[in-house]
Structure 1
């Protein structure tokens, strides 16, 4: 199994981070996590577009802005989790790529 767990884009039952440990990046859960990350990032983009339109409308009331702010905070949390997950996977790939070089260096 992989030594580097993947942070999943959804929390556990108690709100704690959830991780997937697998060598199969095409497993059902891996694909589901990829799809969920894509939905989360797309939703954040849609919220930003909606926010731009709301800022142009002088008739938007404070309650609407408050609701928008809450949704933008959720989207930012999701995007941060996606970034942490993808950053962790990149670091794992770099570690795996570095291992053969380190072995070759240690032989000389």
Structure 2
């Protein structure tokens, strides 16, 4: 699984980007119309998976730093560390985009977006 930010439509109100892919690697979305703040089963599952992805990312980062600090690490170890880091980074970007899209838009942020064009 790899995350392509360009394949995800920008800011779809009422839809949550999920931390997994659909058929053909396409992004999955969940309608988040619950007003009671509890979320549904899929929303809670997505929260759990996102939390795991963030923890995994922290562990992958530690491992990558260890490989980089090892002057004897060979090409294979470096490639494995880079592949794991790229995967974890993609997951973290997806989580950030999903959570960022659900933040309330303030008037100042809206005006800044308008100025940027």
TM over 0.5: yes
Offset of residue 67 of structure 1: 1.0
Count of matched residue pairs:
92
Please list every run of 5 or more consecutive structure 2 residues that lacks an aligned counterpart in the other structure.
1-12, 108-117
Report which of the two has the higher share of helix. Answer: 1
Please list every run of 5 or more consecutive structure 1 residues that lacks an aligned counterpart in the other structure.
99-108
Offset of residue 61 of structure 1: 0.8
Runs of 4+ in 1 over 6 A off after TM superposition: none
Report which of the two has the higher share of strand. Answer: 2
TM normalised by structure 2 equals: 0.72
Two-structure CA RMSD over aligned residues (Å)? 1.6
Please state if 1:86 is matched with 2:93: no
1:35 equivalent in structure 2:
48
Please say which structure displays the higher CA radius of gyration.
1
Task: Spell out the pairing of 1:20-99 with structure 2 (5 A cutoff).
Answer: 20-24=30-34, 25-90=38-103, 93-94=104-105
